[in-house]
Amino acid sequence: MDTKIKPQLNTFKTEIFEGLSSFPKHLSSKYFYDKKGDRLFQEIMAMPDYYLTGCEFEILSTYTETIGEYFRDRENGLDLIELGAGDGKKTKVLLKYMAENNFNFVYKPIDISENAVELLSNNLAHEMPTLNVDAEVGEYFEVLERLKGFNKRKKVIMVLGSNIGNLKHPRAIEFLSKLKDTMLPEDLLFMGFDQKKNPLTVLNAYNDEAGITEAFNKNVLARINRELGGDFDLEKFKHWEVYDPETGTAKSFLVATEAMKITIEKLRLTVNFEQWETIHTEISQKYDDKIVNWLAEESGLIIEKSFTDSQEYYKNYLFR
């Protein structure tokens, strides 16, 4: 474990240093996810305003058999690799179908949060004790190389939750192209993309009154305080969400409500904030068929099929 944590800590330090020294300031949303962040994200997924989880759950529950049968290989079985598995709540619908219908498969959940991977492994060991699970901690671009080792039989790569939405289009294309490079002709990629819709519906998903999204957004500052000896006063930052219906990009910011000087001991860094200065923390991209077609084309992937929920808020695409 130690060897896995150290390089991650260094990336964390380097990226925080870089982001807070830039103008305008930015911090990556991948750093939301520690024990506290995972718990906040679970609360977000349970909020009615955060429609994404319910929509994808509906899709997976409605089309379980169709999706599952695309995955099946009767001869050699398959490896089911999930990037950003989180709590696995939605995936379990498919896992149960596969387990009950004699699929021969290994489930390999990968997540950037060590805490999430540990909780999911323990949960599956209890709930589905016969399931073959091989969990791992890692971030997307880091685990891509390792996927090439899975070419002994069919593999299905899953990325649910519209997690790809955290990447701007050029980076998404880079990610999809690299996934494609690990895929053999029989392999599949199953991915969730939140769709463009009433702008207010999107905005409300990232702007709850209870302040759960705010706390989630601020958790990156809390982590800097906890792990790097920072002295951010979280009360002095405001969560701000914008959604641009033309580009389909939802963007999160933390806005400094007064001028201040922050010190981060372990980075030997002081950061000055002007009043109303921003830190950009996350994008949550929304898509339509045209954009997904374009992303697929640019990455050399072919859309085999897509599935949507009854409100057409969300889509899961099957690529080969």
Does position 58 interact with ligand AVJ (CB under 6 A)? The reply is no
Using CA atoms, how far apart are residues 83 and 108, in angstroms rounded to an integer?
9
Q: What is the DSSP letter of 22?
A: S
> Sign of the CA dihedral 256, 258, 261, 265?
negative
The residue from 162, 195, 204, 299 that contacts ligand AVJ (CB under 6 A) is: 162
Using CA atoms, how far apart are residues 27 and 25, in angstroms rounded to an integer?
7
Using CA atoms, how far apart are residues 98 and 69, in angstroms rounded to an integer?
9
Please choose, out of 90-98, 156-164, 222-230, 266-274, the segment that lies near ligand AVJ by the rule CB under 6 A.
Answer: 156-164
Residue nearest to ligand AVJ (CB): 284
Residue 213 or 299: the one with the smaller Cβ distance to ligand AVJ is 213
Residue 160 or 224: the one with the smaller Cβ distance to ligand AVJ is 160
| Pairing of β 314-319 and β 303-308 | antiparallel
Residue 19 or 165: the one with the smaller Cβ distance to ligand AVJ is 165
Q: Edge-to-edge strands of the sheet including 25-26? A: 25-26, 278-285, 249-256, 237-244
The residue from 53, 113, 166, 195 that contacts ligand AVJ (CB under 6 A) is: 166
Contacts of 306 (CB under 8 A, 6+ apart): 289, 292, 315, 316, 317, 318
**Which among 80, 79, 138, 87 has a CA at the least distance from the CA of 114?**
138
Q: Which of residues 10-29 bind ligand AVJ (CB under 6 A)?
A: none
Radius of gyration for the alpha carbons in the chain, expressed in angstroms and rounded? 20
The residue from 34, 58, 277, 282 that contacts ligand AVJ (CB under 6 A) is: 282
Contact 73, 190 (CB under 8 A): no
The residue from 28, 113, 207, 213 that contacts ligand AVJ (CB under 6 A) is: 213
The residue from 19, 88, 161, 230 that contacts ligand AVJ (CB under 6 A) is: 161
Does position 277 interact with ligand AVJ (CB under 6 A)? The reply is no
Angle at alpha carbon of residue 255, lines to 252 and 259, rounded to 5°: 160
Residue 60 or 98: the one with the smaller Cβ distance to ligand AVJ is 60
The residue from 12, 175, 206, 232 that contacts ligand AVJ (CB under 6 A) is: 206
In whole angstroms, the minimum distance from the beta carbon of 270 to ligand AVJ comes to 29
Does position 54 interact with ligand AVJ (CB under 6 A)? The reply is no
The residue from 165, 202, 309, 313 that contacts ligand AVJ (CB under 6 A) is: 165
Does position 284 interact with ligand AVJ (CB under 6 A)? The reply is yes
Q: Which stretches of the chain bind ligand AVJ, using CB under 6 A? A: 44, 52, 161-163, 165-166, 206, 213, 216, 282, 284
